[in-house]
Structures are given as structure tokens and as C-alpha cells.
Amino acid sequence: RSWTDPSAVIHEKLLRKIGVIGAGAMGAGIGQLAANHGYEVVLVEVDEQAADRGRERVTTLVRKWARHKGMSHANESELLDRIRVVTEADAIADADLVIEAIVEKIDVKQNLFRTLDRIMSPETILATNTSSLSVDAMANATGRGRLVAGLHFFNPVHKMELVEVVRAKQTDDATIARLLGFVRAIGKTPVVTADTPGFLVNRVLFPYLGEAVLMVAEGHSIRDLDNQTRSFGMPMGPLELLDQVGLDVAWHVARSLDNIVSGLRPVLDQLQMMVDDGRMGKKSGSGFYRYRNGKRTAEA
Ligand code: NAI
């Protein structure tokens, strides 16, 4: 049975309120997208400062979207009213779906899943946006494995069409069907993947990105590499894509693939050197390129 067959989807709006944990690059994007499509969204952050930064991120995304769609001020305010950023997880206790988008550390994520399992209603679906960690390991921290799955968005969330719906060992069919319905309801294309390192997209993408990293280390021009792959038909070159994703995030994905995809060890070393140097890509102002106010200025 193919899960990409629309007839396999129970078309429901049963998911009404969405909780998102972490209002960083991904969480803010996911929250904004869900609110755009009519869901009530509550984002949870670690403290007030992080919540303020999250609010700013969400507001910027909403304003850009509103301008792009030619929305009236009233509709824009209505959209903003559907999104809250808080520091208390109690505010999501009645959410129908929780999407976790916090730091990529398994012990921190497992603790969070343990807490969510305790505070959420027994029927709430718990999803993780992890790129490189085992969804099973998070499901095992809960007593509701059938309701735990991966929901892997790509960066930037508002632009990227695909969402991987990751089926862990215990995830049941109803959970997969509801997540497929949700992904379609927010205007994205879902693909169901197994809970294996890199899922589907990163497993095929990383050998390509890794080769570009190694070519830079051999002395090839960053700009030429990006321009040439663009002219080959890619919407973005591999190095600008890595800067967009974040070199720390890319390092985690590459490490998770280390036993499966050969030749990634020297790529990990290169990425590690850059991260140690504070060069994490666009978000840190420098990666393969330099950035000022989010705009690229030069090769780093
Ligand atoms: P980020 O660093 O921009 O945001 C993470 C946010 O989570 C921060 O604002 C932090 O304060 C917050 N946070 C950390 N621990 C928390 C906790 N216990 N409770 C509440 N909030 C907490 O990270 P980003 O890039 O948004 O990544 C988030 C997740 O999404 C990671 O698992 C990452 O692997 C995954 N991901 C990232 C992609 C990317 O291109 N950046 C793409 C797809 C997935």
C-alpha cells in the first residue's frame, strides 16, 4: 500500500492546535506555516530572551508572507494572533500535535519526549524535526510509541516543498495518515520514509554536498562551484546550501551517515574545523561565504 496515494489519507481537520517546541530557524518557520493554514500555534522556548528572539523571527516571517500575498493589515494581525511564543509547556497541554525542533542532542530530546508524554493528552501525536537522530530513540522515551513519528521539514520551511514523514518501529498507520493529512493541509508534499540515518533526502544529498566541501579544501573556488552547479539546474549551489542549513546541523547529519556513506570522514573534519572557528553559515555571519544582515557579501 502506498502512503503517497491520497486515498490513503483520512482527510480530517482533527488537528486544530499545534505545539512547536523551539522557536529557532525551523520551529519559527513551521509555526508560521501552520498558522498561515488556519491552525492555532503555540511555540515553546527555554526562557524569555529566547522567546523574544523567537517572536521576532515569527513576526518577520509573517510580515514577509503577508507582503508577498498582498494581505490586508487586519488579516496580517489575525494571522499573528494565531501564533503565541511562550516559556511554559503547560500552554500546549491541549495541542493535538506537538512538533519538536530543539537542539540536535539525543539526551535533551529524550528528556523532552519524556516530559511531553507526561503532560500531553494520551492521544496527542509527538513528532520530531530531527535531521540526524533516531526517531525510535525518542519514541522509546515515551509510553506512546504508536503516536511518535518524524516530521522532517527542510530549510527554509516556507520555500521547501517536501516534508519527510518518518515511520519509526512502533508508529501506527493512523498516526502516519494524520500526519500526511496535516502536511497536505499546510500545502506541502509528504513522503513517508523509514527511520534510517539521513532518512531519504539527506542520504542521497550528502555525498554530493560532501564532495563540494572536499573540492573547496583542494582549492577550488567556492563561487565557481556554486555557479556551475546552478547552471547544471540546481536552485542553489552546494556551498550556499550548506551555509543556509548551518554547518553545525550539516556536521550532525554527516556524522549520522558516517557508517553508511563512505568518504564522509574528511568532510566531517572540514566542517568541524569551520564550526570550531565559529563559522556556522548564514546564521553566524560566516561560513563558506560572509554575511551582513543576512545578505551575502563575499567568500569567507
Ligand atoms: P536553532 O538553533 O535555530 O533553534 C533551536 C531552538 O530550540 C533555539 O531557539 C533554542 O533556544 C530552542 N531550545 C533548545 N532546547 C529547548 C528546550 N528544551 N525547550 C524549548 N526550546 C529549546 O536550530 P534549528 O536549525 O531550528 O534546528 C532545530 C531542529 O531541526 C534540530 O533538530 C535540527 O537538526 C532540525 N533541522 C534543522 C534544519 C536546518 O536546516 N537548520 C533542517 C531540518 C531539521
Q: Which domains does the chain have, with CATH numbers?
A: 6-194 (3.40.50.720), 202-299 (1.10.1040.50)
Q: Is the pLDDT score of 4 beyond 70?
A: no
| pTM of this prediction exceeds 0.90 | yes
- In ligand 1, which atom is closest to the CA atom of 111? 18
Q: Is the pLDDT score of 5 beyond 60?
A: no
How far, in Å, is the centroid of ligand 1 from the Cα of 42? Answer: 15
Per-residue exposure over 104-126, b if at least 16 CB sit within 10 Å of its own CB, e if not: beeeebbebbeebbeebeeebbb
Q: Is the pLDDT score of 3 beyond 50?
A: no
> What ipTM does the predicted assembly reach?
0.98
Question: Which one of the listed residues 129, 131, 134, 286 is annotated catalytic?
Answer: 131
Distance CA 241, CA 288 (A): 10
Q: What is the mean pLDDT of residues 282-299?
A: 92
Question: In percent, how much of the chain has pLDDT > 70?
Answer: 95
Q: Which has more pLDDT, 211 or 7?
A: 211
**Identity (one letter) of the amino acid at 133?**
L
Active site residue 164: yes
Q: How crowded is the C-beta side of 8, counted as CA atoms within 13 Å?
A: 15
Ligand 1 binding pocket mutation candidate from 20, 26, 110 (most atoms within 8 A of CB): 26
Residue 220 cell numbers, joined: 577550488
How far, in Å, is the centroid of ligand 1 from the Cα of 14? Answer: 26
Q: What is the mean pLDDT of residues 69-74?
A: 90
Question: Which one of the listed residues 45, 100, 104, 164 is annotated catalytic?
Answer: 164
> Residue 14 — very low, low, confident or very high, per pLDDT cuts 50/70/90?
low
Q: In terms of C-beta distances under 8 Å and separation of at least 24 residues, what long-range contacts does 140-144 make, across chains too?
A: 141/110, 141/111, 141/113, 141/114, 141/117, 142/113, 142/114, 142/116, 142/117, 143/117, 144/117
- In ligand 1, which atom is closest to the CA atom of 29? 26
